[in-house]
Structure 1
Amino acid sequence: MPLFCDIALAERIERAEARLMAEACEAAHRRRGDGRGFVLPVAGGSASFAEPDSPFNKVAGLGFGGVPVLDEVEAAFAEHGSPVQVELSQLADPAVGEQLTTHGYRLVSFENVLGLALGPPRDRVTPDGVEVRRTDDVGLWLAVVADSFAEADSQGVASHEAFPRETIENAMRDFAAVGVRRYLALRNGQVAGGGGFRVTDGIAQLTGAATLPAHRRHGVQTALLSTRLADAEGCDLAVVTTQPGSKSQENVQRQGFDLLYTRAILIKDV
């Protein structure tokens, strides 16, 4: 049966997402050591600013802890010269969406959250010629993931944002600092891609999977996904976020993931 996502499950996933963003942002602050940036609690979620142009600059987890007062959050982003980006689940309290759209937030995009219920240990499935292994070589992992993200897959809805290579490397480095496990995929002996995952409150959060263009459409993503799921012992749920209609979404749905809900991405210039 498909995995059904009720409001309680969506809240659990959004809390885990907000926690990951907050902790990764704090890791960015430690890396920079310049006293800039912030992490603020807001209505059960979090607002965070890591550094200019960072993917961690956002408000996550809203809609399950009451209608937020965003004056302090907006002022904090304005102080750093950054717009406010809110990611809001379709299962959140509708009053939050109404508040945002009547206070100058504009809808710019969507992203999909997919999930898979985990039970007994899973087998690793790797196509011929593909090998996936964990790595402690952070530098190589960063390079592969950054190179892969630099040439986005053209299938599906394009992302509303693009990040410089240095920003991607910094974000992945900060993920590694907060417990994201790192994986490399090799195809015919050549490094072909990478990915990671972190466990938060029993949820395996699959992050940062990407394949170098020359190795796409050869099962690398399937192998990365299968290996990470096999290693997610003790978790009852795996979650991944994708662009709508993307190859990544197609790949994870082929592996049994169900579309749980969509996040609306809203932005306000302050």
Structure 2
Amino acid sequence: MDLSPGEHAVYHRSRLAFGAATAAGLPGRFEAFELGGLRALLTNSPGLGFLNSVTGANARTVAALRDVVAVFTAAGAPLPAVVGTSGDLPSAERLSDLRAAPGPVRPIAVLDPRSRDERVVPSDHLQVRPAVGEDLATFFEVLSAGYAAPVDVDRFLVAEHSDPKVLRFMAWKEDRPVAAAAMSLHDDVAVLGGAATLPTHRSCGAQTALLHSRLAAAAAAGARGAVATAAPGSPSVRNLARNGFTVHLRRSWLLAPAEV
């Protein structure tokens, strides 16, 4: 699968999440916008500044970066991380003009779900099923407990995963829920996200089971691609690579406030 459709799908999943946060009444401004080939996510909501990003940066689109940054400044929002994409990266000279310093890599993993091995049985002691009806409350309990995130982040996660376009799944060990994960479809690309396991059940294969179940659901829905992001060097990155995903380590830059 090409990287570009995956990057666009992740951006549209983020737009969905920002819209859900606004609809849920979370404080602050949530805006996703495109300018000059760059895709921006902007929020000034307390505790969520780490979500601010600009993706799609390359030698051509970097010309619009100054105008994009001006929108963040006018909104009183933390400056975004700038993430490079495939193709020619912005020159060091263009980035130095914007007081940009190298940041951590931003992994993104892609796979054609139709290419998965349908014979794979991730676990014989776990059952994965969609989280619907009476299971929804349990899904959010597991999601929140698995992430153990600060209150502002937890509220954002709950808002995002409450959107009806998000498909929710849970892994069960006998009659006990052990992990949760989600998926959304954007054109013909499935975005996998919202993966969390209860601390007492980690390393039991739950996320691998949820990954294969979501890939099967994506293929059944006609998806031609699946994409996921993860923190650099995390177990999630290693799990994606082990299960056939191609992991791209995108470069990023951090912007410093303008001198006054």
Measured in 2, the distance between the counterparts of 1:40 and 1:251 equals 32
Tell me if the contact between 1:192 and 1:212 (Cα under 8 Å) persists in the aligned partners. Answer: yes
Aligned-pair Cα RMSD in Å: 2.7
1:267 aligned partner:
254
Measured in 2, the distance between the counterparts of 1:194 and 1:98 equals 44
> Residue by residue, what CA displacement relative to the aligned partner does 1:83-122 show, whole Å, maximum 9, x if unpaired?
2223423524312665334311222312211222232784
**AA of the residue aligned to 1:48:** L
Q: Secondary structure at the match of 2:9?
A: helix
Tell me if the contact between 1:209 and 1:221 (Cα under 8 Å) persists in the aligned partners. Answer: yes
> Residue by residue, what CA displacement relative to the aligned partner does 1:23-54 show, whole Å, maximum 9, x if unpaired?
32122222227773333222233222242332
2:112 aligned partner:
117
Tell me if the contact between 2:60 and 2:90 (Cα under 8 Å) persists in the aligned partners. Answer: no
Measured in 2, the distance between the counterparts of 1:64 and 1:22 equals 25
**AA of the residue aligned to 1:41:** E
What residue ranges of structure 2 are gaps of 5+ in the alignment?
none
- Distance apart, 1:182 and its partner CA: 0.7
Whether 1:215 and 2:201 are equivalent positions in the alignment is: yes
Whether 1:24 and 2:17 are equivalent positions in the alignment is: yes
Tell me if the contact between 1:22 and 1:46 (Cα under 8 Å) persists in the aligned partners. Answer: no
Whether 1:251 and 2:233 are equivalent positions in the alignment is: no
Aligned residues: 250
2:146 aligned partner:
148
**AA of the residue aligned to 2:98:** H
**AA of the residue aligned to 1:89:** G
TM-score between the two structures when normalised by the length of structure 1: 0.80
Tell me if the contact between 1:43 and 1:62 (Cα under 8 Å) persists in the aligned partners. Answer: no
Whether 1:200 and 2:189 are equivalent positions in the alignment is: no
**AA of the residue aligned to 2:245:** F
Tell me if the contact between 1:89 and 1:264 (Cα under 8 Å) persists in the aligned partners. Answer: yes
Identity percentage of aligned residues: 28
Q: Secondary structure at the match of 2:81?
A: strand
Q: Judging changes above 3 Å, is the alpha-carbon distance between structure 1 residues 208 and 268 closer, same or farther for their aligned structure 2 residues?
A: same
- Distance apart, 1:74 and its partner CA: 2.3
> Residue by residue, what CA displacement relative to the aligned partner does 1:240-260 show, whole Å, maximum 9, x if unpaired?
21223321122222222222x
Tell me if the contact between 1:83 and 1:268 (Cα under 8 Å) persists in the aligned partners. Answer: no
Q: Secondary structure at the match of 1:52?
A: coil
Q: Secondary structure at the match of 1:125?
A: coil
1:236 aligned partner:
224
**AA of the residue aligned to 1:99:** R
- Distance apart, 1:215 and its partner CA: 0.6
Measured in 1, the distance between the counterparts of 2:38 and 2:112 equals 24
Q: Judging changes above 3 Å, is the alpha-carbon distance between structure 1 residues 144 and 165 closer, same or farther for their aligned structure 2 residues?
A: farther
